[in-house]
Structures are given as structure tokens and as C-alpha cells.
Amino acid sequence: MPEPITYLEAIKQGMWEEMERDESVFILGEDVGVYGGAFRVTEGMLERFGEMRVIDTPISESLIVGAASGAALMGMKPIAEMQFIDFISCAFDQITNFAATCFYRCGEPLPIVIRGPAGGGTHGGPFHSKNVESIFFNTPGLKIVQPATVYDAKGLMKSAIRDPNPVIYLEHKLLYRRIKDTIPEDDFTVPIGEARIARGGRDISVITYGAMVWSALEAAEKLSKEDGIELEVVDLRSILPYDKDMILDSVKRTNRAIILHEATLTGGPGGEFASFIAENGFDYLDAPVVRVAAPDTPVPYSPPLENFFLPNAERLIKAVRKLAEY
């Protein structure tokens, strides 16, 4: 039996194996080489693959994505690391106006992966804790994924690298070393755009992704024991495109839906998911679609304030009990 590995190690394995498999795959970013990455995701890669394939860059996210885009047009498959995903905003123009539209404009694929640590819970403050999926959610031509499990972390990384067009790969840093699992030693991928049922249930569907999957599972266990309410937890895995069929199938079974995400409420992906359910699954609903998300403020630095800010199992439980009584 293989040994359990961390979420972080699964991401690293996915990149490492794709670099072994395909010489056109390379990594670039701040401190990815000599230092091994801020979170040690790329540790040992410089020694294995050399400085032409593991490239330390200046502190310039626009440069990183611009160089990656040019390399992709020349047949390479770059993996561009954002040291913290918050700084992806510095490359907004390159991502939204060039990379995302490249295939539409000129018929040329642009196979780049833009990856980095996202999310709160580590007391990183407003510049190191963002969830940026909402910012790019309205950009045709992009794909956005966020794995919640060790298996998906590796499988989605491989799929992202093999995809012919830009993929934003979000890694919730709270999961880096907090979850472990055994995964197959054979090559495998997780298709982009396919959700999974993390926990079956009959009463309320909780549609979520990333670290919030674990909060939903924690809430589901408590509600099952204390209230007899059985949540069905849908782990989207892919935020864009998202699995519309699985969302609808789940709502058909439970007749109630809660959207749970760590991104702030207003303009968050939950609004799109809720609208989709209302437009396409209204006949199956016995109650309004509810959103549980972070409030519309920057992520606080203070640990007590951050704990108040972040959605968690208790907040979800409160929303579930209210919705169950509707």
C-alpha cells in the first residue's frame, strides 16, 4: 500500500510527473527554484529539472504571466506560480485580455496553468488570504478549479497542465499540510468540470468547493447526530465550468439548496449557482436557495476577527436549521 501524502505533496507530484512525462512543461515564479517555493511546493525541482525548466523570476506577476503566455504560444506548457494568489491581480490584464481571449481571437491554444495559495485561516491578513475566483469568474476562456482532497489535488493538476487553454488552479493553503490520504500510484486525472458527491443525503444540498467541503462535512455529521438532518455535500471541484447536471440532480433529491463558499458574498460564485438553480430547478425547490459566505470586507488580520469573518461549520448549521424549518 502507498503511504499517505499531504495535499501539498499531491500538487507537487502532479507537476513533477507531468514534467517527467512532457519536456515542454516548465515552472516559473518568485522563489520557485533555489528556495523551493514559499510553501515548499517546488522543493527539489530545480535540482531534478534544472534552471531552464524551474525558473526564478523577478517580483512581477505581470511579467510571469506575460512570459508564460509567450512561451505557451511557442509550444511550451508553463506553470506560473503566484506566491500568494492575492497578487494575481497584478497580472489581470495579461490573463483576462490576452490569455483568456487568445483562442477566440486567433485560434491558437494557450496552455498555461496559473497556480497559487488562496484562502484564509492562517492569519495572513488582507494581502495574503484572498479568494479570487469571483474576480475571474466572468471571463470567458478561463477555467478555474479548486481541489478539496488529496486525490483531486493531483488529478486536477494533471488535467490543468494537459488542458490546451488557461486554467487558474487555486490551492487552499489551510489544506496544504492538514489533510492526508493515500492515492493510486498509477497515472490518473480528474476531469475539469465534473463535481463529486462528497456525502450523500436526502434533506438539503450543500454546494461548495475547496476547504469549505470539510466544513460542510463537519456540519453534516453534527446535524445527522443532533437533528436527524441529512445533508448532501456536493464538491464542485471545478468552479468554472461548473457541473450543472450534478447540481440539479442533487436539488431534485433534496428540494433545498445552500451555496457555501469562502469568497465574499456580493458578486461571489454563489450568486451564479443560486441563479442557475432558480432558473432551471425552481419546480424542485421547497424553499429559497440560501448562500453562506464571508461578509463583504477585506480579510481581517486579527485572529479573532478572521475567525468571525470566515464561514465555518457552525454558521452552516445555523443556516441549515433555519432552512429545514421553512
Active site residues: 128
The residue with cell 501524502 is 5
Whether 129 and 86 have beta carbons less than 8 Å apart is answered as yes
Look at residue 291 and give its three-state secondary structure. strand
The string over 48-83, giving b where at least 16 C-beta atoms fall within 10 Å of a residue's C-beta and e elsewhere, is ebeeebbbebeeebebbbbbbbebbbeebbbbbbbb
Q: Is 142 left (phi over 0), alpha (psi -120 to 50) or beta?
A: beta
163 CB burial (10 A radius; 0-12, 13-18, 19+): middle
Task: Round to the nearest angstrom and report the end-to-end CA distance of the chain.
Answer: 48
Beta bridge partners of 26: 78
The string over 300-321, giving b where at least 16 C-beta atoms fall within 10 Å of a residue's C-beta and e elsewhere, is beeeeebeebbbbbebbbebbe
Q: Is 237 left (phi over 0), alpha (psi -120 to 50) or beta?
A: left
